[in-house]
Structures are given as C-alpha cells and as structure tokens.
C-alpha cells in the first residue's frame, strides 16, 4: 500500500493533490460530481477585500494545449466568503482549506488575510502577488522582490497560520523573488501562476478576449512550471507547492521529483471535472510501478 500522505507547511494531507484557485470555486460547484474529501485539500477562489464583478466579457479563450483567461478576480468579497461560503463549505468538506487571497495594495492583502486567518476551516493562506499594485503604477507585486517581500511581511504581521506566497512566472529571476519572500517570513511558495498570453481572432482582426491579454494556463505550461519548481526548491529552504499544466498522476510525480511537496491542478478541472479524483485514484498504481512506497520520499530527488 503506497503512503500518499504529505505535510505542507504543517498541513497534514492524505495526498498531495490540490485543485488550484480559480478552477474549483468554493467547492460547492464540484461536490455533486464526487466526494471532494478525497482531495488533499483545495485552494478556493481568489478572494479580495471587496466584492468584484471582474473584467468585461469575453474573458476566456481556448488555445492549443491550454487556455487564456482574464476573469479579473470575480468574487463576493471576504465578508461574504466568511458569512456564506465557509459555512456552506463546512457541510460537505471536512478538511482544512487553502484560502487564496488577492489585493491591489499592501493594506488590502493584510486586511483580507487577517480576517481569513481567524476562520477555523482555513489551514493555509495562499497570497497571490500576481495582482497589479495600484500604488505602484500597475506593476504586479510579484515581479519585484521588494514588493513581494513587503506584502509577505504585512501579512505575516497580522496572521498566525502558514502563509504561502503564490508567484508569477512572468519574471526574469524567479529565485530572487522567492528568496525575498522567504527572508520576509513566508512559510512556503506556490508556483507557477499563469503566463501572460494573447489570442487574436484573425477574421475579426481583434483580440479574442476583451482585456486583450490574459493568463495562459494548461498542459503547455507544464515544463515551465517544473523548471521553476526545481529552481526554487533548490534555492529556498521552505516548501514549494507546484502548479501549472498538471493533468495526470504522472505529472504529480514529476512535479514532486522536481521539488514540490504538494501539487495543484488548475485548468484541467475546467476540461474534466473529475480529473482530480482520477489523479488521486491512479496515483498509487503509478507509484507502485515506479517502486515508490512513500510519496513524500520523492520530493526533490532530482539533483
């Protein structure tokens, strides 16, 4: 019997499979497909201080081996998540959840994280620093090590639970930013978020999505994600959550060998709502075929 359990930043998980934020809602959308308690945990929809309607439509475009989205962090706001989504979640999910938080200022991040930190169901705070800094000319917090560290310090100052910083791959040196977050007190790193992409309708001679550009995700980004997980896991001493293009049990093993302690599944959920269940169910046989008895022992085995 293969032992699939892992410990990510103090969160004990039955297995390393975690649906990624933005692809699994607050769990309610998937509970009728299967018992989501089979999952290690899941990262709920990116939550902001105030409710957001999101970007104008169309805001999703299919691409070869992936998709582009510019949803714009549509969510009901942190107060509604605490008063409505988390109580509902408690009725069908009996594990700790990962709270994904977004913001447009350092104060936004601190405010939202401090509120969610008090919630019993929240096991980890996943801070998405790929958002545009409204006080910094619109540049993403995650593209500058000083800005990423500033957000990390602000969140750590008002929280008690593990803080994991989710980084953007749209940078020259991912390790520099990850190390800055670690030095500022981050308990873990999640990567990668989406790559910046664009798709043009050649008949209309216009971008397919209203926002022109958006986040590119899906199978095509997997090698980039594996590379960055490998680099950061070697550079940092804090654990890494791998994410990006994962759609098979074999991808989970590869990501963990690169250095991930746990692995998120994103765009694949939108193609096949059963994908995470299928990965969890297939993982033991994949491990057995590879001679793996305890999956945590393969974390970072690649030199």
Q: Which residues are identified as catalytic?
A: 131
DSSP states along 128-139? ETTSB-TTTTT-
DSSP states along 145-173? HHHHHHHHHHHHTT--S-EEEEPPS-SS-
Contact 161/125 with Cβ under 8 angstroms?
yes
In the block, residue with structure tokens 């500033």: 150
Q: What is the SS3 string spanning 246-297?
A: CCCHHHHHHHHHHCEEEEEECCHHHHCCCHHHHHHHHHHHHHHHCCCCEHHH
In the block, residue with structure tokens 């936004």: 108
State the Cα–Cα distance between residues 26 and 271, nearest whole angstrom.
18
State the Cα–Cα distance between residues 187 and 118, nearest whole angstrom.
18
């Amino acid at each position: 019997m293969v032992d699939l359990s892992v410990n990510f930043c103090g969160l004990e998980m039955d297995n390393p499979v975690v649906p990624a934020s933005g692809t699994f809602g607050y769990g309610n959308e998937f509970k009728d497909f299967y018992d989501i308690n089979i999952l290690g945990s899941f990262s709920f929809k990116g939550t902001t201080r105030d409710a957001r309607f999101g970007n104008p439509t169309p805001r999703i475009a299919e691409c070869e081996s992936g998709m582009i989205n510019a949803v714009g962090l549509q969510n009901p706001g942190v107060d509604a998540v605490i008063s409505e989504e988390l109580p509902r979640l408690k009725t069908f999910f009996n594990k700790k959840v990962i709270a994904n938080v977004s913001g447009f200022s350092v104060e936004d991040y601190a405010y939202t994280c401090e509120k969610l930190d008090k919630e019993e169901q929240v096991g980890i705070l996943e801070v998405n620093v790929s958002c545009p800094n409204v006080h910094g000319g619109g540049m993403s917090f995650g593209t500058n090590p000083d800005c990423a560290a500033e957000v990390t310090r602000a969140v750590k100052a008002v929280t008690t639970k593990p803080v994991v910083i989710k980084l953007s791959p749209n940078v020259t040196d991912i390790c520099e930013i990850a190390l800055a977050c670690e030095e500022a007190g981050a308990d873990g790193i999640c990567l990668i978020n989406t790559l910046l992409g664009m798709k043009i309708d050649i008949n209309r001679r216009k971008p397919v999505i209203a926002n022109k550009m958006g986040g590119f995700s899906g199978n095509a980004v997997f090698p980039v994600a594996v590379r960055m997980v490998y680099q950061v896991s070697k550079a940092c001493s804090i654990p890494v959550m791998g994410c990006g293009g994962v759609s098979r049990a074999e991808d989970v093993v590869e990501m963990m060998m690169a250095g991930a302690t746990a692995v998120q599944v994103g765009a694949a959920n939108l193609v096949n709502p059963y994908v995470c269940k299928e990965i969890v169910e297939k993982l033991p046989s994949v491990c057995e075929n590879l001679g793996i008895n305890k999956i945590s022992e393969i974390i970072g085995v690649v030199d």
